[in-house]
Amino acid sequence: MKFRLLKSSLYLVGLTFLSFCQFSCSPESTFRIIEKPITWNQERENLSLQYLKDRHGLEQETASIDPKMVVIHWTAIANIEVTFDVFNPATIAGRADLTGASNLNVSSQFLIDRDGTIFRLLPDTTFARHTIGLNYLAIGIENIGSDDMPLTKKQLKANEELIRYLERKYEIDYVIGHHEYQNFQTTDLWKEADPDYRTVKTDPGDAFMKKLRKNLEDLNLKPVPTL
């Protein structure tokens, strides 16, 4: 009798472990997004709606996007907390090249640390100012890094996993580097009222994007247009 009870108990423990592993031990279970929201108040929403109207020619009731693109950036800032402090205010400071277009602060929906930790700064479909001409349809992913601090293998993996997650949720057609955004100027996707409002970008560079695209080949994303 005791043997049967022991055998039954071991069987139940085994089933419990297998059930646990089904949800917690699979490779996908390591994918995590940590919520770290920046300020989203009435001022930021109003500025976002005004940006959508003035820069993109879109009048909307809510500052939202219908994602068709993911844009990969680097921060040129060395750590998460300083980057967060830069993105957190509703208005921008100390960037004369940007304030002429709008006082809305720059930001992105996601931020990835050097170790691959993914933070969500804004809901996926909330408008963020991160890429001239394309904000209205693009989710931005910022990565802690710069020319002098190249993005890491863990960041590459995290970007891949995050993009796969987003592609399952939305009809993502393009994944581009910030340095490639001007290639869309002659397409129907481009929406920027001022033909002279451009900034030169180098992030995250061709080498990183080549690796990322190779890892995402199975998604059959659309190629970046050529100028």
Query: To the nearest 10°, the Cα dihedral for 139, 203, 161, 157?
Result: -170
Q: Read off the pLDDT of residues 15-29 as tens digits, 9 standing for 90 and up.
A: 444 443 443 444 445
Beta-bridge partner residues of 91: 104
Provide the edge-to-edge strand list for the sheet that holds 69-74.
33-35, 118-120, 110-112, 138-143, 69-74, 174-177
State the Cα–Cα distance between residues 213 and 206, nearest whole angstrom: 10
State the Cα–Cα distance between residues 91 and 97, nearest whole angstrom: 14
Q: Are residues 55 and 120 in the same domain?
A: yes
Q: Read off the pLDDT of residues 47-106 as tens digits, 9 standing for 90 and up.
A: 999 999 999 999 999 999 999 999 999 999 999 999 999 999 999 987 777 878 899 999
Q: Are residues 21 and 40 in the same domain?
A: no
pLDDT of residue 14: 47
Residue 180 forms part of a structural domain: yes
Q: Read off the pLDDT of residues 129-158 as tens digits, 9 standing for 90 and up.
A: 999 999 999 999 999 999 999 999 999 999
Q: Kind of pairing, strands 118-120 and 33-35?
A: parallel
Residue 225 forms part of a structural domain: no
pLDDT of residue 145: 99
Q: Are residues 74 and 3 in the same domain?
A: no
The 3-state DSSP class for residue 71 equals strand
Cα dihedral across residues 29, 30, 36, 37: positive or negative: negative
Q: What is the mean pLDDT of residues 113-123?
A: 99
Number of domains in the chain: 2
Q: Are residues 132 and 155 in the same domain?
A: yes
Compute how many other C-beta atoms are within 10 angstroms of the C-beta atom of residue 142: 29
Q: Are residues 15 and 107 in the same domain?
A: no
Per-residue pLDDT band for 227 (boundaries 50, 70, 90) equals: confident
pLDDT of residue 11: 45
Q: Residue 157 corresponds to which tokens in the numbers above?
A: 């993996």
Residue 21 forms part of a structural domain: yes
Q: Residue 76 corresponds to which tokens in the numbers above?
A: 């040129």
What Cα–Cα distance (Å) separates residue 221 from each residue in 66, 172, 184, 198?
Answer: 17, 8, 15, 25
What Cα–Cα distance (Å) separates residue 126 from each residue in 67, 164, 202?
Answer: 10, 19, 25
What range defines the domain where residue 3 resides?
Answer: 1-27
Residue 120 forms part of a structural domain: yes
Q: Read off the pLDDT of residues 154-170 as tens digits, 9 standing for 90 and up.
A: 999 999 999 999 999 99
Q: Are residues 100 and 206 in the same domain?
A: yes
- Give phi and psi for 94, each to the nearest 5: 75, 20
In 3D space, the residue among 118, 121, 101 whose CA is nearest the CA of residue 109 turns out to be 121
Q: Are residues 14 and 110 in the same domain?
A: no
- Element (H or E) spanning 140, and its range? strand 138-143
- Element (H or E) spanning 70, and its range? strand 69-74
Compute how many other C-beta atoms are within 10 angstroms of the C-beta atom of residue 93: 9
pLDDT of residue 99: 79
Q: Read off the pLDDT of residues 183-218 as tens digits, 9 standing for 90 and up.
A: 999 999 999 999 999 999 999 999 999 999 999 999
Residue 226 forms part of a structural domain: no
Q: Are residues 150 and 189 in the same domain?
A: yes
Q: Are residues 134 and 199 in the same domain?
A: yes
Q: Are residues 165 and 70 in the same domain?
A: yes
Q: Are residues 184 and 168 in the same domain?
A: yes
Q: Are residues 39 and 15 in the same domain?
A: no
